Amino acid sequence: MMIKISNITNLQDARYCAAMGFQLINFSLLSEDTQRLSAQQIREIAAWLSGPQYVLACNEASVADLQAIHGTFPYHYIEIPAEDWQKFSFLPAIPFILKVKGKWEVAALATLIEEVKKHHNASKIEIEMDTTHDFSSYESLFPNIFIHTPSLQILSELVETYQNMPFGFSIREEGGELSGDLDYEALDKMCEQIEHKNAVMH
């Protein structure tokens, strides 16, 4: 079970996430994003880290920034809105994470997964889940999806309640306990819970 934490903007938070074992750290290149970093800022933060893989969030409007950083920084995923998928003009041979908004039928998501995996077999999609109600509905897709929850409380309930887990969970700082600066205490508790869950599963 992977944890992807997004909108990291400073070295302190990035080093905390790396030390806690978050596997994926997301930096934003999105145009008009208030938490957008320059290529140089991302490289400077990553130079101090060891362990995590890096995700660069961008859209078609910021593809020039992605092209500028490509080859100068070892990123592992590109995260883009699903609506940009068919018109994205820069397709390096690394996995994509497509962010899907709104409610989608499982069959439609399965088709989208197949499309993006034609580009790279390790590509995933990310869906948003406001409550725990629909969690088990997506079980057939779990090997290929991240689930974004708007709060650590919902994530905690999912980890506590269900045996089967998706490929990963996505946390973004605008959600619940992560508003503003990272809430290290709340994240510590979440990491302990996930570590226990992983131990039980294995």
pLDDT in tens, 29-85: 998 888 899 989 999 999 999 899 999 999 999 999 999 899 888 899 999 999 999
> Cβ–Cβ contacts within 10 Å for residue 49, how many?
15
Sign of CA dihedral 65, 147, 177, 201: negative
Question: Look-up: residue for tokens 């709340």?
Answer: 186
pLDDT in tens, 120-130: 999 999 999 88
At residue 168, the 3 state secondary structure works out as strand
**Residue 145 reports pLDDT greater than 70:** yes
The model's confidence at residue 199, banded by pLDDT at 50, 70 and 90, is confident
124: part of which helix (H) or strand (E)?
strand 124-128
Taking the C-alpha atoms of residue 202 and residue 185, their distance in angstroms, rounded to an integer, is 26
**Residue 17 reports pLDDT greater than 50:** yes
Q: Report, in this order, helix, strand and coil percent for the chain, each rounded to 5.
A: 45, 20, 35
Give ∠ CA 31-64-16 in degrees, rounded to 5: 60
Percent of the chain topping pLDDT 90: 62
Per domain, the residue ranges of the chain are 2-201
User: Is the pTM value of this prediction over 0.85?
Assistant: yes
Fold held by 2-201: TIM Barrel (3.20.20)
pLDDT of the residue at 173? 61
pLDDT of the residue at 4? 95
Classify burial at 127, counting beta carbons within 10 Å of its beta carbon; exposed 0-12, middle 13-18, buried 19 or more: buried
Judged by average pLDDT, the poorest of 137-146, 154-163, 167-176 is 167-176
Taking the C-alpha atoms of residue 14 and residue 41, their distance in angstroms, rounded to an integer, is 12
What is the average per-residue pLDDT within 104-113?
95
Taking the C-alpha atoms of residue 77 and residue 70, their distance in angstroms, rounded to an integer, is 12
Judged by average pLDDT, the poorest of 20-29, 107-116, 188-197 is 188-197
At residue 89, the 3 state secondary structure works out as coil
Reported as half-sphere exposure (CB side, CA atoms, 13 A), residue 2 has a value of 23
The model's confidence at residue 179, banded by pLDDT at 50, 70 and 90, is very low
Q: Please choose, from the candidates 5, 59, 60, the residue with its C-alpha nearest in 3D space to the C-alpha of residue 27.
A: 5
What is the average per-residue pLDDT within 173-184?
60
